[in-house]
Amino acid sequence: MTMQNATPPGPAAYRIQQLGPPRDRDGSPVRVHGQGTQLNEPVTGFDSLVLHHPGDSRGVRMVDGSIVGGERGRVFAYVGGRIEEIEFPRPVGGRFRDYGLATDQVLIKKDFILSHPDRDPGTRHGRRVHVPAPVAGVVGARRDREGLVDILDRRGGEVIARIRHMSDIEVDVGDAVEYGQTLGIQSDVDTRRIHVHMEMDSRYYLQFRNYVDDLASGRLPVDAVHRTNVQPRPVPADGTFRLGASDPRIRDLQRVMGGEGYRAADGGPLDRDGVYRIGMQGALLDFQRDHGIRQTGDIDPPTLRFAPATRPREVDRLDYVAPGRTPQVHPSQQQAPGHPDHPDHRPGLPAEPEPAVNQRRAQAPCFGCPPIDRLSAALRSGDEAEVSLAFAAIGTSPEMLAMLERGNRLLAAAQEDSRSSQQIQAQPDAPVRG
């Protein structure tokens, strides 16, 4: 075949890998620190990307509305139904750091390794490939010592993507950037391993998903010439608000959750300003489980079904109720507790709700209670004499007596509320004045 008749090579898809979580010989994750082996694993799309720094954060979980057990100095949250490392403005080491972000803005962090499909991915030569831009925008920062490029949503706007560890950066501050355009070369600048570190604004979560999927599928190929004029895939409006979002519908949900007794992670009341902050997330996960919704950690349409939009009441409306008059409830439609303008959803809940994502210390029978701890140890040992003594100690322990006293006070309060409610229902309705 002559050179004139040779077919030019077509677009080649990136090989994508990541440092996976510590695993046992059978491939199952290992949560015990210092055990297991971490290997570079193939990435088939966004859903196969694991948590940022999965080894150091192997024990990450949520307890009492806060993420614990992760790598020291890092923060985590639920996004899309799984724990992700995030960045947002906050106090660090006694001073406030904004990380170049707007108030309440949240970035999601991911690491992955790009390599040429025809080269050894374990070599510097194999990993010396271009890093395509994950979004279109304007370059807001370039720092060669960090291999960093920030992409803004508009000139002088907010950071929507942050890419680190690149060499030979090809864009400069103020440049307009197109989707898939080469930003630089994947490198080990300011790090120990050649890889891509990428952070995306939570509001661009779906775009982030599409980008990684486009890299894996070859829609954004290795050779820059084949990435020219590749347009980002349309992102449908899914009606979902993720951490850091603000919207009046979030305020509606905050109102309903507050009325039902849900609290912030610090035990205080939920904000009712329409901003989804991290302190609300534990309560949201509890709310989703209690209402039979998948615990995504996102404020999605199934969740918003239980938060009707606030509407102004007009005196001339037919359903207007005069002040002081108890609204009439249709006998076939009971009201939900905490939000009387919404029907009771509880009869439709599944019999077996999914396990709680937000673990509560109060639910743990052996947390910080010596009599219970003693009984648990006795049961594990199988010592029948010690089990009997532990049972006897529980009945006279100050901790259990205090618990019983609290229970008696709660029962008395509930009985008093019930009597008051019965007395109100027995009173005749006041006349409605036109």
Boundaries of every domain in the chain: 10-227, 240-315, 361-422
Predicted pLDDT of residue 388: 80
**62 alpha carbon, distance to own chain's centre:** 11
Q: What is the CATH number of domain 240-315?
A: 1.10.101.10
In this prediction, residue 334 carries a pLDDT of 57
* Predicted pLDDT of residue 219: 97
Contacts of 226 (CB under 8 A, 6+ apart): 10, 11
Tokens 């374990």 found at? 122
**pLDDT for the residue numbered 393:** 76
- The rounded distance, in Å, linking the Cα atoms of 59 and 390 is 32
The pLDDT of residue 246 is 96
> Counting beta carbons within 10 angstroms of the beta carbon of residue 159, is it exposed (0 to 12), middle (13 to 18) or buried (19 or more)?
buried
What pLDDT is recorded for position 433? 39
Displacement of CA 408 from its chain's centroid (Å): 38
The whole-number pLDDT of residue 431 equals: 44
At 32 the pLDDT is: 81
pTM, whole model, 2 decimals? 0.76
- Contact 82/182 with Cβ under 8 angstroms? no
402 vs 411: CA distance, rounded Å: 14
- For residue 421, the model assigns a pLDDT of 53
Phi, psi of 255, rounded to the nearest 5 degrees: -65, -45
User: Consecutive sets of 10 residues in the chain, 434 residues long: mean pLDDT of each?
Assistant: 57 96 91 88 97 94 93 95 97 93 97 97 97 98 98 97 98 98 98 97 97 98 95 94 97 95 92 96 96 95 92 53 51 55 59 84 50 67 74 71 66 64 53 40
